[in-house]
Amino acid sequence: MDALDWQGSFIMQLFDVVQADGLRLIKVSNSQGGEYHSSCPSCGGQDRFIIWNKTNRYFCRRCEKKGDTIQYLRDFHGLSYFAACKHIGIQPKQPDSSKPQAIFEPKPSIMPCSSWKASASAFIQYANRKLFNSSYAVGLFLKRGFNPETMCTYKIGWNPQSLWVLRSTWGIQDESHKKLWLPRGLVLPTFDIDTQEPIKIKIRRDDWFCCDRFPKYVEIPGGMATPCRYGNPMSKPIMIVESEFDAILIQQIAGDLITGMALGGASKRPDLQAHRLLIRAPLLLFSLDVDSAGARAYPWWKTMYPQLKLWLAPVGKSPGEALQKGLDLRRWICCGL
């Protein structure tokens, strides 16, 4: 019987659904009516996925997905709550109409001022020149899988030393008179799709360390609060990732097939401009990092965008890490499509 067949009054248990999905279950103990281990339908492995037969619960030790039979069908089959209930043969609970339903209202997309764009353009050009003058910096990008053509096309760069500049030169009003910090590191700019003007800059600090009180990624104030997009997403599927590095790599390897969109963090939400692109996209591949933050973010995205498909890196934490571990990234993307 297929895992998604509904047999009227027959209620499918989690054990039945998982077996129908073809997972190889190995019994490891008798606790809670039997504890079984298998590979995870999402992130793979061999025994990281745990099922407790009596309580109808599951948990993955790596991607930290967990829940009951209903949640399993929502996580791994992309079903809605009502569809999942129907498929296992139970009556869904009706929502309480007395409680107000949360409505997502994306924040307005506000372009940076002309002074910011002018200063950003000058800094991006400076950083791109410095990149090709530094074998060390070029090596950092090559190690991540970038080729020199991509470094030129997306004007990524290298800031060899931390700079402190007047905020007023970037059009930033600040009564505290604190200077704007441009840290030493890899420079990742984002440009407007239509005008090709800079709208956002992130710097991956080269001197960041584990217990640093300052962040690994510094976003230059005054830029546009929007996910980073590379390439033209019109009429193309979009792959949603966390890192700008991953989004640019996707463009390098499969830009003819898909557009990369970097959120800059698992908890980030799209602004109005990005939201309009997302709702019009024919398909969204959800490829956030394989960790607890990415797992917590997924339900919101699936509820908001029905055409979203969970497509996590099969090895490593992210598409970029998977590439470094030998994954054929283009083939993986083609499989997702």
Angle among Cα 39, 35, 318 to the nearest 5 degrees reads 30
Place of tokens 């997905």: 65
Quick one: pLDDT at residue 3?
37
Residue 230 burial by Cβ neighbours in a 10 Å radius (0-12, 13-18, 19+): buried
CA-nearest of 121, 62, 84, 44 to 294 is: 62
What are the start and end residues of each CATH 3.40.1360.10 domain in the chain?
Answer: 226-337
Mean pLDDT of 281-290: 93
The pair of structure tokens assigned to 229 is 């997009």
* Mean pLDDT computed over 15-35: 84
- Give me the CATH topology for the region 112-225: DNA primase DNAg catalytic core, N-terminal domain (3.90.980)
Residue whose structure tokens are 């104030």: 221
Is the pTM of the predicted complex or chain greater than 0.85?
no
Token readout for 61 is: 């030790």
Query: Residue 26: enclosing H or E segment and its boundaries?
Result: strand 26-29
Q: What is the pLDDT of residue 154?
A: 94
Q: How many CB atoms lie within 10 A of CB 173?
A: 8
In angstroms, how far apart are the furthest CA atoms of the chain? 71
Question: What is the per-residue pLDDT across 124-168, written as a single tens digit (0 to 9) for each?
Answer: 999 999 999 999 999 999 999 999 999 999 999 999 999 999 999
Q: Where in the chain is the domain with CATH 3.90.980.10?
A: 112-225
pLDDT digits (tens, 9 = 90+) for 27-51: 998 876 788 999 988 878 888 899 9
CATH 3.90.580.10 segments of the chain: 14-88
Give the percent of the chain with pLDDT over 90. Answer: 56
Q: Is the pLDDT of residue 308 over 60?
A: yes
Pairing of strands 259-262, 238-241: parallel
Specify the CATH superfamily of domain 14-88. Answer: Zinc finger, CHC2-typedomain (3.90.580.10)
Tokens of 58: 């599951």
H or E segment and range at residue 234: none
Task: Encode 247-257: b = buried (16+ Cβ within 10 Å), e = exposed.
Answer: bbbbbbbbbee
What's residue 4's pLDDT? 38
pLDDT band, residue 327 (cuts 50/70/90): very high
Pick among 3.30.390.30, 3.40.1360.10, 3.40.50.170, 2.60.120.10: CATH of 226-337: 3.40.1360.10
pLDDT tens-digit series, residues 79-130: 777 888 888 888 877 655 555 555 788 899 899 999 999 999 999 999 999 9
Give CA–CA dist 42/66, Å, rounded.
12
